[in-house]
Amino acid sequence: MRINRINKKTPPTDPTVSNFSEIDKLLAEYKGRKGTVIPILQGVQEILGYLPPRVFQKIADNTGIPVSDLYGVATFYAQFRLHPVGKLMIKVCHGTACHVQNASAVSSAIEEALGVKDGETTSDGLFTLESVACLGCCSLAPVMMIGNDTYGKLTGAEAVKIIKEIRQKEMSTTSDPVNNK
Amino acid sequence: MQNTKIIVGLGSCGIAAGAGKTYQKIETLIAEGNLDVKLGKTSCVGMCYREPLVEIHDASGVYLYGDIDESRVPEIIEKHILEQKPVKEYLVKTDLFPTPDDSFLKDQVKITLRNCGMIDPEQIEEYEAHGGYQAVKKIAAEKLTSADIIKTVLESGIRGRGGGGFPTGLKWKFAAGYSSPEKYIICNADEGDPGAFMDRSVLEGDPHTVLEGMIIGGYAIGASDGVIYCRAEYPLAIKRLNIALNQAREKGYLGTDACGIKDFNFDIHIKEGAGAFVCGEETALIASVEGRRGMPRKRPPFPAQSGLWNKPTNINNVETFAGIPWIILNGAEAFANFGTEKSKGTKVFALAGKVKRSGLVEVPMGMTIRDVIFNLGGGIKDDKKFKAVQMGGPSGGCIPEYLADTVVDYDSVTATGAIMGSGGMVVMDETTCMVDVAKFFLDFTCKESCGKCTFCRIGTKRMLEILERITNGEGKPSDLDELIDLAQQIKDNTLCGLGQTAPNPVLTTLRYFRDEYEAHINQHKCPAKVCKNLLTYTVNESKCTGCTVCARNCPVNAIDGERKKAHTIRQDACIKCGLCFTKCKFDAIEMS
Ligand SMILES: Cc1cc2nc3c(=O)[nH]c(=O)nc-3n(C[C@H](O)[C@H](O)[C@H](O)COP(=O)(O)O)c2cc1C
Ligand code: FES
Q: How far apart are CA A144 and CA A98, in angstroms?
A: 10
Cβ–Cβ of B191/A41 closer than 8 Å? no
CA of A144 to the centre of ligand 2 (A): 9
Q: By the CB < 8 Å criterion, does A138 face chain B?
A: yes
Contact between B464 and B456 under an 8 Å Cβ cutoff? The reply is no
* pLDDT score of A88 more than 50: yes
Average pLDDT rounded to a whole number, residues B16-34 = 95
Cβ–Cβ of A135/B233 closer than 8 Å? yes
Q: Which domain does A38 fall in, by range?
A: 21-76
Strand partners, B489: none
Residues A166 and A142 in one domain: yes
* pLDDT score of A13 more than 80: no
In this structure, what is the dihedral angle of CA atoms B155, B161, B162, B168, given to the nearest 10 degrees? -10
Residues A57 and A110 in one domain: no
Backbone angles phi, psi at B381, to 5 degrees: -55, 140
Smallest Cβ–Cβ distance between B200 and the set A72, A96, A136 belongs to A136
State whether ipTM is beyond 0.90. yes
pTM over 0.90: yes
Q: What is the pLDDT of residues B225-249, one digit of tens each?
A: 999 999 988 999 999 999 999 999 9
Picking from A32, A54, A76, the residue at the C-terminal end of a domain is: A76
The total of structural domains in chain B comes to 5
Residues A92 and A152 in one domain: yes
Residues B291 and B190 in one domain: yes
CA of A48 to the centre of ligand 2 (A): 28
For chain B, what percent of residues have pLDDT higher than 70? 100
For chain A, report the end-to-end CA distance as a whole number of angstroms.
42
Q: What is the pLDDT of residues B336-365, one digit of tens each?
A: 999 999 999 999 999 999 999 999 999 999
Residues B233 and B316 in one domain: yes
Residues A110 and A163 in one domain: yes
Q: By the CB < 8 Å criterion, does A105 face chain B?
A: yes
CA of B481 to the centre of ligand 2 (A): 32
Q: How confident is the model at residue A177 (pLDDT cuts 50, 70, 90)?
A: very low
Q: Could you write out the DSSP letters of every residue in B275-320?
A: S-GGGGSHHHHHHHHTTS-------SSPTTTS-GGGS-EEEEEHHH
The total of structural domains in chain A comes to 2
By C-alpha distance, which of B474, B468, B504, B512 is closest to B486? B504
Residues A151 and A101 in one domain: yes
Is A138 domain-assigned? Answer: yes
Q: How confident is the model at residue A17 (pLDDT cuts 50, 70, 90)?
A: low
Residues B400 and B498 in one domain: no
Q: How confident is the model at residue B96 (pLDDT cuts 50, 70, 90)?
A: confident
Backbone angles phi, psi at B227, to 5 degrees: -130, 135
Strand partners, B363: B347
Q: How confident is the model at residue A9 (pLDDT cuts 50, 70, 90)?
A: low
> B291 to chain A: which residues are within 8 Å by CB?
34-38, 73
Is A10 domain-assigned? Answer: no
Q: How confident is the model at residue A7 (pLDDT cuts 50, 70, 90)?
A: low
Q: How far apart are CA B83 and CA B96, in angstroms?
A: 18
Residues A72 and A121 in one domain: no
CA of B195 to the centre of ligand 2 (A): 5
B190 lines ligand 1 (CB under 6 A): yes
SS3 string of chain A?
Answer: CCHHHCCCCCCCCCCCCHHHHHHHHHHHHHCCCCCCHHHHHHHHHHHHCCCCHHHHHHHHHHHCCCHHHHHHHHHHCCCCCCCCCCCEEEEEECCHHHHCCCHHHHHHHHHHHHCCCCCCECCCCCEEEEEECCCCCHHHCCCEEECCEEECCCCHHHHHHHHHHHHHHHHHHCCCHHHHC
Cβ–Cβ of A42/B353 closer than 8 Å? no
Q: Among A13-27, B1-15, B114-128, B537-551, whose mean pLDDT is lowest?
A: A13-27
Judging by DSSP bridges, how do beta strands A144-146 and A88-93 pair with one another? antiparallel
Residues B444 and B574 in one domain: no
Residues B541 and B517 in one domain: no
| Cβ atoms within 10 Å of B36's Cβ, excluding its own | 11
Contact between B397 and B367 under an 8 Å Cβ cutoff? The reply is no
Q: Which ligand is in closest contact with the Cα of B190?
A: 1
Is A180 domain-assigned? Answer: no
> A137 to chain B: which residues are within 8 Å by CB?
12-13, 16, 48, 197
Per-residue confidence (pLDDT) for residue A5, from 0 to 100: 53
Query: Residue A88: what residue type?
Result: L
* pLDDT score of B489 more than 80: yes
Backbone angles phi, psi at B132, to 5 degrees: -70, 145
| Cβ atoms within 10 Å of B583's Cβ, excluding its own | 15
Residues B172 and B227 in one domain: yes
Contact between B83 and B35 under an 8 Å Cβ cutoff? The reply is no
Is A13 domain-assigned? Answer: no
Average pLDDT rounded to a whole number, residues B264-270 = 97
CATH of the domain at B173: 3.40.50.11540
Residues B149 and B267 in one domain: yes
User: What secondary structure letter does DSSP report for B68?
Assistant: -
Smallest Cβ–Cβ distance between A140 and the set B16, B289, B437 belongs to B16
Per-residue confidence (pLDDT) for residue B95, from 0 to 100: 86
Residues B290 and B144 in one domain: yes
Question: Which residue puts its alpha carbon closest to atom 5 of ligand 1?
Answer: B280
Is B341 domain-assigned? Answer: no
B-chain residue closest to A131, CA distance? B444
Average pLDDT rounded to a whole number, residues B11-25 = 94
CA of B34 to the centre of ligand 2 (A): 41
- Ligand 1 nearest atom to the CA of residue B192, by list position: 8
Q: How far apart are CA B471 and CA B17, in angstroms?
A: 35
Residues B413 and B323 in one domain: no
Q: Which ligand is in closest contact with the Cα of B419?
A: 1
Least Cα separation, residue B574 to chain A (angstroms): 15
Exposure letters B223-237 (e unless 16+ CB within 10 A, then b): bbbbbbbbbbbbebb
Q: Which domain does B560 fall in, by range?
A: 535-591
Q: What is the pLDDT of residues B276-315, one digit of tens each?
A: 999 999 999 999 999 999 999 999 999 999 999 999 999 9
Residues A94 and A69 in one domain: no
Contact between B91 and B47 under an 8 Å Cβ cutoff? The reply is no
Per-residue confidence (pLDDT) for residue B553, from 0 to 100: 87
Average pLDDT rounded to a whole number, residues A9-25 = 69
Residues B40 and B177 in one domain: no
> A2 to chain B: which residues are within 8 Å by CB?
447
